[in-house]
A and B are shown apart, each in its own frame.
Chain A
Amino acid sequence: MSNITVEELKEKAIQLRQTAVTMVYHAQSGHPGGSLSAADFVTALYFREMNVNPEDPEWADRDRFVLSKGHVAPIQYAALAHRGFVPMETVKTLREYKSPFQGHPDSKKCPGIDISTGSLGQGLSCAVGMALAGKLDKKDYRVFAVIGDGEAQEGQIWEAAQSAVKYKLDNLIVFLDDNGLQIDGPTDEIMPNLDLEKKFEAFGFTTKRIDGHSMEEILETLDEVKNVKDGKPKCIVCNTIKGKGVSFMENVVGWHGKAPNEEEYEKAMEELARGLNA
């Protein structure tokens, strides 16, 4: 998918946002806020960067994707549906009995999910294990992990970070969705993270802070870091807005894990569509 244009990717990101919001609306449950903040880099990964094959989701040489902040599953599900891992109708089954789209990603039930996640702080360790296996087996695949800024309060994140550095996992690229909010309020009030970019840097990562809603910057940064074989894992700290793209959800803590009603849904879809037609 490397020949997709930036403009096409921006459109795709809006479509993924629409699909994620639609999913949460149908389910009347789920996490729209963080799904929307992560939408742009998830789009860049699934539609340009990652070497994956919807026809063969368990292909041994594929790039891996670990959604450590598993509650924002709707945005990954949207990517999987648009990318053809599952039929598009699946989006109407979020959180339903027998659906591949479980409340949180489930590798047993959904093609394209490389490992189940949902309990915060744990996915990065799994990504480190996958990246280490790639090094041991001399494979070229890369592992992309998405963690949240609230999630970075979990101690295990830093256990995983130190091991990624010890094992020189330059095939690990972490996207940190720094949207500044967590379920109880602003991250700075609940438990200040201080500067996450500096923290990861101090642990030995190559880090960069970018605008997580600028497709251009996301792509540039990926191009900059993705093939650097310097023995250092990468962490791209993304300044993002929780609820990005839907005005009444933006930066509102209450939309962390709430479904829109009919009126709100229509408004959200209309606003997102305006972005498409812009």
Chain B
Amino acid sequence: MIVLNKAPYEQKATREAFGDEIEELGKENKDIMVVDADIGGSCKTTKFMNAVPKQHVNVGIAEQNAAGMAAGLSTTGKIPFVSTYAVFGSLRMAEQVRQEVCYPNLNVKIACSHGGLTPANDGGSHQAIEDMGVYRTIPNMRVIMGADYNATRKLVRQAAEIYGPVYLRFTRDKVPVIYDENEEFEIGKAKQLKEGNDVAIIANGDTVCLALEAAEILESKGVSVKLLDMHTIKPIDHEAIIECTKIGKIVTVEDHNILNGLGSAVSDVVAEEGNTRVRRIGVQDRFGESAPYEKLLEINGITVENIVNTAEELL
């Protein structure tokens, strides 16, 4: 059984996890490379650059070229991580990643900070609410967002160890560190945080901590909650979702458009397995704006209170 950290939690952005883990990986394996597109400081790749400068490429503000060069590098056995913001990493270079990474099934990782609403005060232009959905539709791609610093470090390492394209998404802002640093993660396998039989809550990324708090409130009201951290939305963990359909009530929570993200991925499985109601909490198919991160979550109903209420409505 998973032993989670106790509140008050340490707070750390998951982009820091990428920066720390990729530095370790780079020192261990000379084939690990980072391809930056000018924003290495913000994406936390500076330590990598300083530790293993020969494994670091900076193409400047030219994301499409970053993806293409990474593809070329990978054909020789390199393992490039293209690092930029999620909105550029998923949309500006989407076609390059489709054509030159996923179609030839090359060993390139797209590792992006500023996922979801976390670049809050940067405004709607910089909040990536479609990224996971974009990559979920491209064959050969895996799509991952760790819930916290420790989960993200483990998932970054795994992404480096498996062959093929992976999209990794990180938070700009700090989120609670809920997992112990020794907890292990497997790409494509949901992490069960609570076993229960009244309602299932499936969350990922920066919303897992909100779902955890909501689950505890529901439990205090006598509701038995099954809670999953679905860090990988593709390949999705069918088995874990099918287990949830036995309860028949699922609430999904994500910092992403409710279209084509976690909620959609869960619904895809549920639709084929029958008799379960799904309520999706996430960005309500609307662009963001400059505001504190918590305010943006509130506008979209991505709150502990709304998770509790939504679960109770399903009961």
Residues of A within 8 A of B (CB): 60, 64, 66, 106-108, 114-119, 121-134, 136-137, 155-156, 159-160, 162-163, 167
The 8 A-B residue pairs whose C-beta atoms are closest, nearest first, are A129-B72, A125-B68, A159-B65, A126-B72, A129-B69, A159-B62, A133-B76, A129-B73
Q: Pick the contact of A125: B72, B75, B78, B104 (CB < 8 A).
A: B72
The answer, yes or no, to whether B95 is at the interface (CB within 8 Å) is: yes
A116 with B99: in contact, given A125-B67, A163-B69 (CB under 8 Å)?
yes
Chain B residues lying within 8 Å of A118, measured Cβ to Cβ, are: 99
Chain A residues lying within 8 Å of B74, measured Cβ to Cβ, are: 129
Q: 1/0 per residue B73-104: CB within 8 Å of A? A: 11111101000000000000001100110011
Complex Cα gap A235–B298 (Å): 55
The answer, yes or no, to whether B64 is at the interface (CB within 8 Å) is: yes
Chain A residues lying within 8 Å of B100, measured Cβ to Cβ, are: 115-117, 122, 125-126
Chain B residues lying within 8 Å of A156, measured Cβ to Cβ, are: 62, 64-65, 68, 96
Q: Which of B17-25, B52-60, B147-155 contacts A (4 or more CB under 8 A)?
A: B52-60
The answer, yes or no, to whether B71 is at the interface (CB within 8 Å) is: yes
Whether the pair A114, B64 counts as a contact (CB closer than 8 A) is no
> Among the interface residues B54, B65, B105, which one has the most CB atoms of the partner chain A within 10 A?
B65
The answer, yes or no, to whether B120 is at the interface (CB within 8 Å) is: no
8 Å CB contacts to A: which residues of B14-65? 54-55, 57, 59-60, 62, 64-65
Whether the pair A128, B69 counts as a contact (CB closer than 8 A) is yes
Question: A33: shortest Cβ distance to chain B, in Å?
Answer: 23
The answer, yes or no, to whether B70 is at the interface (CB within 8 Å) is: yes
Q: List 30 A-B contacts (CB under 8 A).
A: A60-B76, A106-B103, A115-B71, A115-B100, A115-B106, A121-B64, A122-B64, A122-B95, A124-B68, A125-B96, A126-B68, A126-B72, A127-B72, A129-B70, A129-B71, A129-B72, A129-B75, A130-B76, A131-B72, A132-B73, A133-B73, A133-B78, A136-B54, A156-B65, A156-B68, A159-B62, A159-B65, A163-B59, A163-B60, A163-B65
A115 with B104: in contact, given A125-B72, A133-B73 (CB under 8 Å)?
yes
Chain B residues lying within 8 Å of A163, measured Cβ to Cβ, are: 59-60, 62, 65, 69
Question: B246: shortest Cβ distance to chain A, in Å?
Answer: 40
Question: B315: shortest Cβ distance to chain A, in Å?
Answer: 49
Residues of B within 8 A of A (CB): 54-55, 57, 59-60, 62, 64-65, 67-78, 80, 95-96, 99-100, 103-106
Chain A residue at minimal CB-CB distance from B108: A129
Chain B residues lying within 8 Å of A132, measured Cβ to Cβ, are: 57, 69, 72-73
Complex Cα gap A166–B57 (Å): 10
Q: Pick the contact of A130: B54, B55, B72, B104 (CB < 8 A).
A: B72
Q: Pick the contact of A128: B68, B76, B103 (CB < 8 A).
A: B68
Complex Cα gap A214–B70 (Å): 35
Complex Cα gap A41–B74 (Å): 27
Chain B residues lying within 8 Å of A121, measured Cβ to Cβ, are: 64
A125 with B76: in contact, given A115-B71, A116-B103, A118-B99 (CB under 8 Å)?
no
Chain A residues lying within 8 Å of B60, measured Cβ to Cβ, are: 162-163
Complex Cα gap A266–B246 (Å): 68
Chain A residues lying within 8 Å of B105, measured Cβ to Cβ, are: 108
Chain A residue at minimal CB-CB distance from B102: A116
Whether the pair A119, B99 counts as a contact (CB closer than 8 A) is yes
Complex Cα gap A115–B67 (Å): 13
Complex Cα gap A107–B103 (Å): 9
A130 with B73: in contact, given A156-B64, A159-B64 (CB under 8 Å)?
yes
Question: B73: shortest Cβ distance to chain A, in Å?
Answer: 4
A116 with B73: in contact, given A125-B65, A128-B68 (CB under 8 Å)?
no
> Among the interface residues A124, A130, A131, which one has the most CB atoms of the partner chain B within 10 A?
A130
> Among the interface residues B62, B64, B69, B100, which one has the most CB atoms of the partner chain A within 10 A?
B69
